[in-house]
């Protein structure tokens, strides 16, 4: 592994001359991978149906059927059949997406700008089923906990971590940015993924910079309520703490950065209400109700696109962004809830891809999904419970799209005596997926594309040397 990392590039990554951005779309709550990316070969499909038809409300999707508009909305019959995929590598099987992922089907099959990473999860080291069942595996404890597993994905550490791997990536390139303040940007509030050793994340809302109420005239003079003196007094109060206390000094630094950012962004951000970002109706999505509603994910991604467009004016070479789509803890009512979430994800990613194409930066921006964990193969009646491994999407012009990267899990029948799946090396109790690819390896593959050297990869991902490969192969050279 040490030799492999060294081969990735011995030089430091400083001195980037091109522009690249990573965008993390976090699916908060634990996305049901089994109903997002499906194996549709005969054996896999039969095992899938047997596990998911149980209970009061079948969550087993259908295939090879047209939508039945007379059926109850969001039921499998109403949705119609799953959307067939045409991966470059079939693995001797057939695959499909949730019926609501029509635009992502196009991005995968036709445009080749979307790839699927199969069975990725949080791992401290490679684990096989026999070792896990014997209780001898080193695990990212505690499994199945929302907060801890989200932290494992975003920080590679338990809840309470102060640094994320996105922030550590940003640390390596902040010096290449004229305005390092905008190196790590969240459109979804505070996010540990963006916190580095030196880089401080900057939060922006979906409609622009978070403002302090200042107005500026043509000469750049700031006022509040028409008063220059009031504006100056508020700035002094916010940025110059009256006591020498570490927390007060830190808060003052945050205020100072926000005030500076507002001023800098005012002249750099494009009008996101205009083309190609707007009008606002482009961010509306048809859900299960009678009319279109605002898609919060699309609104967040619109602001990310605006920030990317502003990068040349701000002198930025590398940026990392964080957005979220919440609501994936589908213990109940899964048919309705998961369907609407898939509609929002499909619309949001397709909208973002269209804007990036219009800006001519698709090859320079890579967007990926992550989530707390996957969910159980078995139904609990009308939903699913916490799992482990999951499938993730990666989108962009630099992605080896149109393929499923990594061996797709083997499905089998459940032993009803203990809810185990003894015939599968990939399914644990209740069909929880045992990850075959690590979130660490996924992050390292993105980090290598971002420009990190082998030495830097080892620094950003300290456990990377425990795995057989530092590159999962889903990014172009």
What is the CA 42 to chain-centroid distance, rounded?
A: 31
Provide CB contacts within 8 A for 323, sequence distance 6+. 23, 24, 25, 26, 186, 187, 188, 297, 300, 301, 304
pLDDT band, residue 1 (cuts 50/70/90): very low
Residue 330: predicted pLDDT: 97
- The model's pLDDT over 14-72, given as tens digits with 9 standing for 90+, comes to 467 899 999 999 999 999 999 999 999 999 999 999 999 876 789 999 999 999 999 99
- The model's pLDDT over 93-140, given as tens digits with 9 standing for 90+, comes to 999 999 999 999 999 999 999 999 999 999 999 999 999 999 999 999
User: Angle formed by the axes of helices 146-155 and 165-173, to 10°?
Assistant: 20
Read off the pLDDT of each residue in 394-404 and give the average, rounded to a whole number: 98
What is the CA 110 to chain-centroid distance, rounded?
A: 22
Read off the pLDDT of each residue in 375-384 and give the average, rounded to a whole number: 96
- The model's pLDDT over 365-376, given as tens digits with 9 standing for 90+, comes to 999 999 999 999
Alpha helices per DSSP H over 320-414: 334-359
Judged against a pLDDT cut of 70, whether residue 243 lies above it is answered with no
Residue 104: predicted pLDDT: 98
pLDDT band, residue 238 (cuts 50/70/90): low
Residue 217: predicted pLDDT: 63
Instruction: Give the SS3 label for residue 431.
Output: helix
Question: 172: buried, middle or exposed (CB in 10 Å: 19+, 13-18, 0-12)?
Answer: buried
Q: What average pLDDT does the structure give for the chain?
A: 91
Residue 152: predicted pLDDT: 97
């Amino acid at each position: 592994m040490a030799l492999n990392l060294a081969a990735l590039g011995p030089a430091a990554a400083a001195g980037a001359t091109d522009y690249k951005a990573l965008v993390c779309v976090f699916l908060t709550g634990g996305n049901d991978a089994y109903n997002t990316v499906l194996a549709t070969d005969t054996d896999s499909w039969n095992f899938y149906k047997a596990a998911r038809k149980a209970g009061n409300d079948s969550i087993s999707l259908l295939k090879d059927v047209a939508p039945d508009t007379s059926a109850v909305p969001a039921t499998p019959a109403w949705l119609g059949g799953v959307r067939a995929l045409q991966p470059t590598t079939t693995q001797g099987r057939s695959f499909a997406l949730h019926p609501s992922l029509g635009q992502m089907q196009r991005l995968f099959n036709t445009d080749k700008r979307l790839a699927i990473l199969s069975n990725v999860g949080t791992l401290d080291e490679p684990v096989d089923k026999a070792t896990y069942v014997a209780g001898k595996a080193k695990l990212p404890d505690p499994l199945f906990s929302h907060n801890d597993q989200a932290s494992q994905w975003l920080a590679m550490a338990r809840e309470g971590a102060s640094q994320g791997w996105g922030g550590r990536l940003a640390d390596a390139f902040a010096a290449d940015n004229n305005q390092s303040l905008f190196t790590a940007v969240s459109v979804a509030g505070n996010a540990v993924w963006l916190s580095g050793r030196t880089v401080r994340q900057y939060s922006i809302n979906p409609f622009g910079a978070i403002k302090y109420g200042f107005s500026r005239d043509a000469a750049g003079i700031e006022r509040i309520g028409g008063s220059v003196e009031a504006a100056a007094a508020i700035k002094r109060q916010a940025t110059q703490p009256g006591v020498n206390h570490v927390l007060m000094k830190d808060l003052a630094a945050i205020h100072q950065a926000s005030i500076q950012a507002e001023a800098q962004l005012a002249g750099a951000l494009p009008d996101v209400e205009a083309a190609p970002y707007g009008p606002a109706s482009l961010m509306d999505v048809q859900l299960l109700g009678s009319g279109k509603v605002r898609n919060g994910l699309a609104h967040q991604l619109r602001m990310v696109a605006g920030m990317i467009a502003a990068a040349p004016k701000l002198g930025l070479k590398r940026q990392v962004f964080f957005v979220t789509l919440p609501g994936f803890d589908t213990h109940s009512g899964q048919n309705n809830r998961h369907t609407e979430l898939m509609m929002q994800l499909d619309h949001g990613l397709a909208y973002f891809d269209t804007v990036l194409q219009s800006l001519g930066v698709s090859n320079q921006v890579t967007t990926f999904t992550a989530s707390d964990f996957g969910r159980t193969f078995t139904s609990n009646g009308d939903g699913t419970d916490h799992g482990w491994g999951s499938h993730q999407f990666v989108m962009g012009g630099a992605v080896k799209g149109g393929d499923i990267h990594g061996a797709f899990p083997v499905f089998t029948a459940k032993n009803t005596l203990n809810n185990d799946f003894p015939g599968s090396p990939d399914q644990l109790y209740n069909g929880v997926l045992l990850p075959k690819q690590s979130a660490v390896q996924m992050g390292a593959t993105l980090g290598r594309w971002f420009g990190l050297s082998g030495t830097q990869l080892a620094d950003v991902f300290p456990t990377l040397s425990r795995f057989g490969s530092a590159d999962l192969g889903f990014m172009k050279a």
